[in-house]
Amino acid sequence: MTTKQHHPAIFYVQKTLKILILAVYLVVVIFPFFWILSTSLKASQAEIYAYPIVYWPSDPSMQNYYNMLTYGNFGRYFLNSFICAASGAAGAVFLSIFASYCIARFKFRGRGAILFFFLFTQMIPMFIVLAPLYQMMAGFHLTNNLTGVSLLYMNGMIPFSVVTLRGFFQGVPNSIEEAAQIDGCSRLGSLFRVVLPVIKPGIATTFIFAFINSWNEVFTANMFLDDDALRTIPVALNSLILKYDIKWGEMTAGTMMAIIPSIILFAFIQKYMAVGLTAGAVKG
């Protein structure tokens, strides 16, 4: 049996084309971040709107960052966003563990309908349910406070978390739990001691996606938070869009600081996320 031999010239041409395509893709992906960083370091609006375009400031300045931290109350907004996103994502993942475990492990009437309901709710635009949702939250005195927004984030991420974690639970053999129960573990004990350590990558992946979605959310926070001290970062950045002007310097500086938690989160949990995405693609 003969193997097809490629001419060396063709091999180098193909390799060069692949490198060029990847280089172009890398430039397209990185350039927006470079532009945001460049704009955040421009001290004046004149330099931001200058023509011809100034791709990098001649005298980089941290004034926009100083303005956001000093006059923009950015530190408070940062804390508000972290509280809402972290608590909402953690609550959604915690509750979804039990729901997804039951759906994956037990056969009962209506299981398919529940999964369909979770998927269907993801397709409903938020503004459709805004009026009744606001009345319900106002009735419980949960408007204009971070607790209410955290609960809304948790509620919004539960369907996604249940569907995602269900696939990971289905990838764990029942024999592992049966062995733990033979050794004396209860059903709940085997879940926490045996199953959850196995699906840690899936839990980490689900938490990351829930956290990022909650961190970037602007519509709910803008509708349910009125006080300036309670604003989240997306709402604060949105407020920089004025009637006749946009404060691009402060907005890009705030954006650069806003992506720091996402970068740190990915850096610490990237090994779990890589395994979780791979497992989620082939299981469930």
Distance CA 144, CA 133 (A): 14
Q: Dihedral through CA 41, CA 44, CA 48, CA 50, nearest 10?
A: -130
Q: Name, in order, each residue with C-beta under 8 angstroms of 109's C-beta and a sequence gap of 6 or more.
A: none
- Residues 187, 206 within the same domain: yes
- Residues 19, 135 within the same domain: no
- Residues 148, 31 within the same domain: no
- Residues 103, 197 within the same domain: yes
Q: What is the pTM of this model?
A: 0.82
- Residues 59, 164 within the same domain: no
Number of domains the chain contains: 2
Distance CA 162, CA 210 (A): 11
- Residues 102, 38 within the same domain: no
Confirm whether 88 is domain-assigned: yes
pLDDT digits (tens, 9 = 90+) for 47-96: 888 888 888 888 888 888 888 888 778 888 999 999 999 999 999 999 99
Contact yes or no for 115/103 (Cβ under 8 A): yes
Confirm whether 24 is domain-assigned: yes
Contact yes or no for 220/126 (Cβ under 8 A): yes
Of 63, 82, 108, the residue at which a domain comes to its end is: 63
Of 63, 81, 100, the residue at which a domain comes to its end is: 63
Q: What is the pLDDT of residue 150?
A: 93
Range of the domain at 58: 8-63
In the beta sheet, which residues pair with residue 246?
241
Confirm whether 1 is domain-assigned: no
- Give me the half-sphere count of Cα atoms (radius 13 Å) on the Cβ side of residue 142: 15
- Residues 87, 55 within the same domain: no
- Residues 40, 88 within the same domain: no
Helix, strand, coil share (%) of the chain residues, nearest 5: 75, 0, 25
Q: What is the pLDDT of residue 131?
A: 83
Contact yes or no for 257/237 (Cβ under 8 A): no
- Residues 143, 270 within the same domain: yes
Radius of gyration of the chain (CA): 24
- Residues 219, 264 within the same domain: yes
Confirm whether 156 is domain-assigned: yes
CATH number at residue 222: 1.10.3720.10
Confirm whether 2 is domain-assigned: no
Distance CA 205, CA 275 (A): 9
Of 63, 82, 97, the residue at which a domain comes to its end is: 63
- Residues 191, 139 within the same domain: yes
Confirm whether 39 is domain-assigned: yes
Confirm whether 3 is domain-assigned: no
Distance CA 246, CA 132 (A): 33
Average pLDDT for consecutive 10-residue bins of the chain (284 residues)? 60 84 89 90 84 84 87 85 94 93 85 83 78 87 90 91 88 84 83 87 88 90 88 89 85 89 77 54 43
Confirm whether 121 is domain-assigned: yes
- Residues 22, 151 within the same domain: no
